Amino acid sequence: MHKYEKLWLTIGTASLVLFLAILIITGLHNGHKPAASGREYVNPDKVDQIEPFNKPGLNKVDGKDYDYELVIVASAFNYQPGKVEIPKGSKVKIIATSKDTLHGFSLPGTNVNMMLEPGHISEYTKTFNDKGEYLIICNEYCGVGHADMKSMIKVVDKK
């Protein structure tokens, strides 16, 4: 074998070993688990009895780094609430979960895209600067009524 072939084989093998070591170390270090939040899990059978999911909708909050909390509960081919009006320029923390099966929560045209797993709490903070309507769609197949699963966020001028 030529000395240059040996050199390239050595460099290639060393690169591969280094790459795999980095993957293994970061995988073990990060733990590969869902992103944790303060309220990580709720009993999906009792979602309707647990705050804040017992009152889905838009709620004004004080003393936080956002203006509103939008609580969403997904279940058999619908979202609760069905329609929400948000004042333009508001920073909203979306807090969502599912009661029955895997659902998606997506606002097309934005970077809001969450997976809603039964009992797991998904959170996303967004500032709604543009007036208009945002269709909420389920982007995870959830059964025969999946295509009809939608809701609406309407951004309106502040009153």
Percentage above 70 pLDDT, the chain: 92
Dump pLDDT digits (tens) for 10-49: 999 999 999 999 988 887 776 555 555 445 788 888 888 8
DSSP the chain: --HHHHHHHHHHHHHHHHHHHHHHHHHHHH-S-PPP-SS-B--GGGGGGSTTTTS-EEEE-SSSSSSEEEEEEEETTEEESSEEEEETTEEEEEEEEESSS-EEEE-TTSS-EEEE-BTB-EEEEEEE-S-EEEEEE--S--STTGGG-EEEEEEE---
Q: Where are the domains of the chain?
A: 1-32, 44-156
Cα gap 34→122, rounded to integer Å: 10
Q: What is the pLDDT of residue 36?
A: 52
Q: Does domain 44-156 have CATH number 2.60.40.420?
A: yes
For the chain, the average pLDDT equals 88
pLDDT of residue 152: 94
Q: Model confidence at 142, in pLDDT bands (50, 70, 90)?
A: confident
Q: What is the pLDDT of residue 86?
A: 94
Task: State pTM to two decimals.
Answer: 0.72
